[in-house]
Amino acid sequence: MAATKSLSIFLLIAVTCVAGGQAANFNITNRCNYTVWAAALPGGGVRLNPNESWSLSVANGTTGGRIWGRTNCTFNSTGHGKCLTGDCDGVLVCNKTGTPPNTLVEFALNQYNNLDFYDISLVDGFNIPVQLSPTYNCSSVKCAADILGECPTQLQVPGGCNNPCTVFNTTQYCCTSGVAGCGPTDYSRFFKEKCPDAYSYPMDDATSTFTCMGGSDYRVVFCP
């Protein structure tokens, strides 16, 4: 019994060390003066009262990673309920993407040449200001402008500012017919002017994608 337990503990430590040595830590902090229900894929979700943090370990090589915040949520004791923005199928611990509008932090770790790729995207609209900062000496990206206060009328929804693709679902706004015919629009220019570092439409890569040497950790701050 004791031997089995020691072995389990040994295996647990071994697994933790392998994962820990190659994982990136994301320290997610809520500096808003309201509660944010943070969500991450992979990772799940937690409630963050003002000034609370969530430390998330993300495996080496993760692609398609995203972190976002949800607002005005109510969940029961088993973590079922709903949020005004960013809701992920009515659960506290997300395993699906959030409902727009939601400001997105996106990343892929240890890709080509072991580089991390990261960005902030407004392609699913905006709900909470956010900043993403590598702990290595690489660019920090931020979208903290007053987008809710100046959101074009047609894009306004309670708690957020939608992207035109979500509202109008046209090939032009959604870039669903490829690069040709996919360019900035008056709506995307509104987002770009407010947050020059963030994706304002799906193919806005040139000014919106950032890289850092793999191995960096990251800080994510809501309401930086």
Which residues are near ligand NAG by CB under 6 A? 22, 27, 29, 33-34, 50-51, 53, 55, 60-61, 72, 76-78, 80, 84, 91, 95, 110, 114, 137, 158-159, 169, 214-215
Kindly state the smallest distance separating residue 5's Cβ from ligand NAG, in Å: 28
Kindly state the smallest distance separating residue 154's Cβ from ligand NAG, in Å: 16
Which is closer to ligand NAG, CB of 22 or CB of 140? 22
Kindly state the smallest distance separating residue 50's Cβ from ligand NAG, in Å: 3
Which is closer to ligand NAG, CB of 4 or CB of 113? 113
Which is closer to ligand NAG, CB of 95 or CB of 154? 95
Within 10 angstroms of residue 22's Cβ, the number of other Cβ atoms is 15
Q: Pick from 70, 71, 167, 69: which is nearest to 123 by CA?
A: 167
Q: Are strands 141-143 and 104-108 parallel, antiparallel or unpaired?
A: unpaired
Kindly state the smallest distance separating residue 1's Cβ from ligand NAG, in Å: 33
Within 10 angstroms of residue 81's Cβ, the number of other Cβ atoms is 14
- Residue 203: partners with Cβ closer than 8 Å, 6 or more residues away: 175, 179, 182, 183
Please give the full DSSP string across 134-193, using - where no structure is assigned: ESSSS--EEE-S-HHHH--GGGEETTEE--HHHHH--HHHHTTT-STT----HHHHHHHH
Which is closer to ligand NAG, CB of 4 or CB of 137? 137
Which is closer to ligand NAG, CB of 76 or CB of 153? 76
Kindly state the smallest distance separating residue 92's Cβ from ligand NAG, in Å: 9
- Rounded CA-CA distance 178/33 in Å is 41
> For residues 141 and 118, is the Cβ–Cβ distance under 8 A?
yes
